[in-house]
Chain A
Amino acid sequence: MRNAECGLTAMIANYGYKDGSGDYFIAIDTDKCNGCGDCVPACPNSVFVVGEDPNDPLRDEPVAMVGEQERKKLKYTCNPCKPDHDRPPLPCVQACKLGAISHSW
């Protein structure tokens, strides 16, 4: 979480859901995100889209978001990158050089 003392406010967008079986959220720090789009091709299931920020009418830069198609199925969509054993680093997290992407599970 951002430190209030440095005068920076973060804008953390959490996409996903919590259901009976667990919490599945992908968090995008939109202050770090510059809309470069490197995450888009990195994801084998095309989870990310880059475009106008629908939550911040005053932002000019494009921003990365979790697309509408996969947002409510993240547990299932992200399964291929999250085997139970020997989990490798996630391609989307690695693709983002600014460290804007994180997963809650």
Chain B
Amino acid sequence: MSEKKEFWRWKEYRWHDESIDWKGADIISAGVDIGSVSSQAVIMADGKLYAFSNQRTGFDSPESANQSINWAMEGTGLTLKDIHYTVGTGYGRVNVPFADKALTEIACHARGGNFMYGPSVRTILDMGGQDCKAIRCDERGKVEAFLMNDKCAAGTGRGMEVFADLLSVPIEEVGELSLSVEEEPEPVSSTCVVFAKSEASALLREGWPKNKVLAAYCAAMAHRVVTLLERIEVKKDFAITGGIGKNSGVVKRLEQELGLESLKSNYDSQIAGALGGALFAQALEKKRRSV
């Protein structure tokens, strides 16, 4: 089995706000989200988003955590000791060596979602590399109900990758390509990614073009995710975070089936977890100082 090709993943990048001078900040907090597929680090200065990085997770979680935070700090002059409190989250949260506390992705996504999409958001769907989470929260970003599926690849980034791989389509192009069909095909009938892949191979042999096969799979994925969401009862406003949030093929079909449009944010939907972590870090540092 060869190393994953470069263009099967979202682009890696970093950013920081040049207009903010972190030296003047009272509390500098950080959140690091080590996912099974990608990792993000977010740095906040007094609750304002200052810097972040988004890259793929390596084989070593602690090393990924270090690389993540270092890349976020690059060009800012910050060092680890300038950061007052760090929260680790995600699949690899116990492996963030410099974290002061580890919190689950559920709590962090709700807080991060509340920041990114505003206090009107009540339902957050996070579709990550190897899991799918549905969270309902209140106006403060406090969790009211949740479920997470990380057992089955259907409805996760890995599931989509299998198809991108099968059809040799870069992940960034899957969405638009799937929407370029004239008529919506029937969704693939198997939920299981392995069986769906066989089904798709048969369709290709029958002469189905790539965009039609992708449409059938995105439709099946969207439907599956809707049934997961219904278990926690969807309430508006609704937002989608995580890598699949960037896949218009799945997002549009989801919105159609739910009859709800998802909120858009100026921030990259993949940083929601780390952002929530940084917000909790901010609150926990404040609490620590007040004692």
Binding site for B on A (CB under 8 A): 1, 9-20, 23, 25, 54-57, 71-73, 104
Contacts and interface: CB of A to CB of B under 8 A. Distances in A.
A19 B196 CA distance: 12
Contacts of A11: 143-145
Given A20-B192, A25-B147, A54 B152 contact: no
5 contacts: A11-B144, A14-B231, A19-B152, A25-B147, A71-B151
Q: Is the interface of B mostly helix, strand, loop or mixed?
A: mixed
Contact of B147 (A1, A14, A20): A14
A55 B227 contact: no
Contacts of B280: 57
B191 A20 contact: yes
Interface in B155-192: 190-192
Interface stretch (B42-50, B103-111, B206-214, B252-260): B103-111
Contacts of B264: none
Interface string B219-231: 0000010011001
B233 interface: yes
A60 to B, nearest CB: 14
Contact of B151 (A9, A19, A56): A19
Task: Give 7 closest A-B pairs by Cβ, nearest first.
Answer: A14-B147, A17-B151, A20-B192, A19-B152, A72-B151, A12-B145, A20-B191
B251 interface: no
Nearest to A54: B104
Contacts of A25: 147, 231
B7 interface: no
B150 interface: yes
B152 A18 contact: yes
Contacts of A16: 147, 149, 151
Nearest to A73: B151
Listed residue (B106, B151, B233) with the most chain A CB atoms within 10 angstroms of its CB: B151
A55 B231 contact: no
A83 B111 CA distance: 41
B138 interface: yes
A56 B232 contact: no
A54 B152 CA distance: 22
A18 B228 CA distance: 8
A1 B235 CA distance: 12
Contact of A17 (B145, B146, B150): B150
Contacts of A13: 145-146
B216 interface: no
A56 B190 contact: no
A14 B190 contact: no
A25 B232 CA distance: 11
Listed residue (B144, B224, B280) with the most chain A CB atoms within 10 angstroms of its CB: B144
B195 A20 contact: yes
B108 to A, nearest CB: 10
B163 to A, nearest CB: 16
A82 to B, nearest CB: 18
A19 B231 contact: no
Nearest to B224: A18
A1 to B, nearest CB: 6
A20 B103 contact: no
Contacts of B152: 17-20
Nearest to B132: A18
Interface string B118-153: 000000000000000000001000111111111110
B154 interface: yes
B146 A14 contact: yes
Given A19-B154, A54-B104, A12 B195 contact: no
B145 to A, nearest CB: 4
A56 B143 contact: yes
